[in-house]
Amino acid sequence: MQHCQKWLEYLPFPLVITNAEDCIEHYNFLFARLAGGDTVGADVKTVFDQWKPEDTFLVSVTLHNHPYVLLHHSIQVEEQPFTLYIVADNTQVQQLRQEVANLETQLEAVMESSNDGIYITDEKGVTLKVNGTIEKMTGYPKHCFVGHNVADLVKEGTLKRSITLKVLEERKRVDYVYQLSERKAFATGIPIFKENGDIDKIITNVRDLTEVNHYYNELQRAFELNSQYRRELDMLKGKLKLIDSDVVIESKQMIDIYDMAERVADVDATVLILGETGVGKDVLARHLYASSKRSQKGEFIKVNCGAIPYDLLESELFGYEAGAFTGANKTGKPGMFELADNGMLFLDEVGELPLALQVKLLRVLQEREIQRIGATKSKKVDVRLIAATNRDLKQMVAEGKFREDLYFRLNVLPISIPPLRERKEDIVPLANSVLEKMNQKYSMEKRFDDKLERFFYHYKWSGNVRELTNLVERLVLTVPSSIIMIEDLPVDYSDCECTESHSITNELNRVMTLKEAAEIAEREILALAVQKFQSTYKMAEELGTSQATIVRKLKKYKL
């Protein structure tokens, strides 16, 4: 035992060795200083003021009213039994215990906060910890798992299968998808290794795919609803995908027209656009093209049937072969139908087509093929036809000026654009939009007087949008002041009695009830307010009534 004394002095703790009778045989200098003298031969329990065994290897003691902890371990020296005691300050031990308890609490909180199931075992597969999600997934409480080997749990039927056993076998991460009752789960088992390469613990994470799929489907539905609401909101605001930014649509009639155009953009049926000159037939045709998938595959080709001489119109539409006629291109020339292949051909003023060409156009629509002038073979084309006219094709059919069969071929999807005077909500916003463009174009800062805007609102606009655009540009260029007044109108407009008072007077020139007269005046005032103010609250404030009344009246008069 003499050599024990030497190595006891090398250790940085108070140490003491007792024999089988618990009498002290050896101790180091640190223990002697702690005990306050020589204690060889004394019963180790008598050295301390209090002695309280805590567990197999731990004893709580006090010495000089200070708490300590004795860690003891049995040893054999020269085949004789002895006990080695290590003395530790109980305050430090308690701090360590508290830190361990805190870590345990934090680990428990982390595990319980997870929506995934967490299952921890030791290197033999004995369950150390599970979280509450495992309880929900399996229907068994935690105590049915903790302390039990997963192999036994599988045999008992508590677990249908265990990924832990697979990890123990393969000594690597294992992923597995399996069924839990009516739910599908994805499990990942990860081994934690010791420094020597042996497995220390296995952590398994189980994710309920049924719930994930549910959330994914809910998210998809939310995205679809969001897209639907966005489309509806854009439609209500009139913010459609127009390629011509000069066009402004605020009226319900135009919103409905462009909404229908959106819906038929990707069908190949022929569209016939009807309306007076200058209402925007060309812009609607371009919008149909831009909104369709054909805009990604082919071109938009426009042909004004009324602007090309009859004798040249056929070659322009269908093309010609080399040497087809005197003055023809030596290499031939493709027609508009060929150029519009996979795209869209817009025939403006289709009512001006001569009867001879109407027959050829009908054949193209029926057979989907064209034949160049001078060619002997036909050629297939994939073209969507959009036709437009300001003429009454039905009347022309009755008069024998337009083929009835062609009319029915063109009139598959008719769209009639109302004149500007029938959609007054568009007039002032359109005028201001044109003014803004002209200001940018000519580097000016002009604006309209309120009286001039009211004139625009009540004027009949026989030339529709084109007439309004030309007038605004004329005023911007000719009026020197920054504010354009009603007095600045050209003579042919200033002589026109189109003020709001004259409009009301015209309505009142017939005999009617006082109620009808009041409603006419009320509608005119509300129509002006709609143009001038941005919200129903502002309109109510200016007109001296409630916002609810304004909303009800606007609905009544369809403003």
Q: What is the mean pLDDT of residues 44-57?
A: 87
The strand pair at 483-484 and 174-180 is best described as unpaired
Considering all CA atoms of the chain, what is the largest pairwise distance in Å, rounded to the nearest integer? 139
What's the angle, vertex CA 105, arms to CA 99 and CA 109, rounded to 5?
145
Between CA 509 and CA 469 the distance in angstroms is 32
Nearest by Cα to 292 from 272, 325, 321, 269: 269
DSSP state string for 328-362? --TT-EE-HHHHTTTSEEEEETGGG--HHHHHHHH
Model confidence at 501, in pLDDT bands (50, 70, 90)?
very low
Nearest by Cα to 387 from 257, 274, 283, 292: 274
Token pair of 394 as six digits:
């039905």
Model confidence at 516, in pLDDT bands (50, 70, 90)?
confident
Q: To the nearest 10°, report the CA torsion of 469, 471, 473, 474.
A: 160
C-alpha separations of 233 from 240, 253, 259, 261, 416 in Å: 10, 16, 12, 17, 24
Q: What is the mean pLDDT of residues 238-264?
A: 73
- What is the predicted pLDDT for the residue at 508? 47
pLDDT tens digit string along 204-225?
Answer: 998 888 777 778 788 888 888 8
Model confidence at 494, in pLDDT bands (50, 70, 90)?
low
């009041």: which residue's tokens?
518
- What is the predicted pLDDT for the residue at 498? 55
Between CA 205 and CA 202 the distance in angstroms is 10
The strand pair at 271-274 and 413-416 is best described as parallel
Res 454 pLDDT > 80: yes
pLDDT tens digit string along 276-329?
Answer: 999 989 999 999 998 899 999 999 999 999 888 887 888 889 888 887 776 667
- What is the predicted pLDDT for the residue at 181? 63
pLDDT tens digit string along 128-185?
Answer: 999 988 888 888 898 889 999 999 998 888 888 888 999 999 999 998 887 766 677 8
Q: How far separated are the first and last CA of the chain, in Å rounded?
A: 111
- What is the predicted pLDDT for the residue at 398? 94
- Within 10 angstroms of residue 142's Cβ, the number of other Cβ atoms is 13
pLDDT tens digit string along 77-87?
Answer: 778 899 999 99
Note the Cα 454 to chain centre separation in Å: 42
Q: Are 300 and 344 in contact (CB under 8 A)?
A: yes
Nearest by Cα to 550 from 532, 523, 513: 523
* The one-letter amino acid at 128: L
- 0.75 exceeded by the pTM? no
Token pair of 40 as six digits:
């060889």
Note the Cα 102 to chain centre separation in Å: 43
How many alpha carbons lie under 13 Å from residue 193 in its C-beta half-sphere?
Answer: 8
- What is the predicted pLDDT for the residue at 243? 43
- What is the predicted pLDDT for the residue at 78? 78
* The one-letter amino acid at 380: K
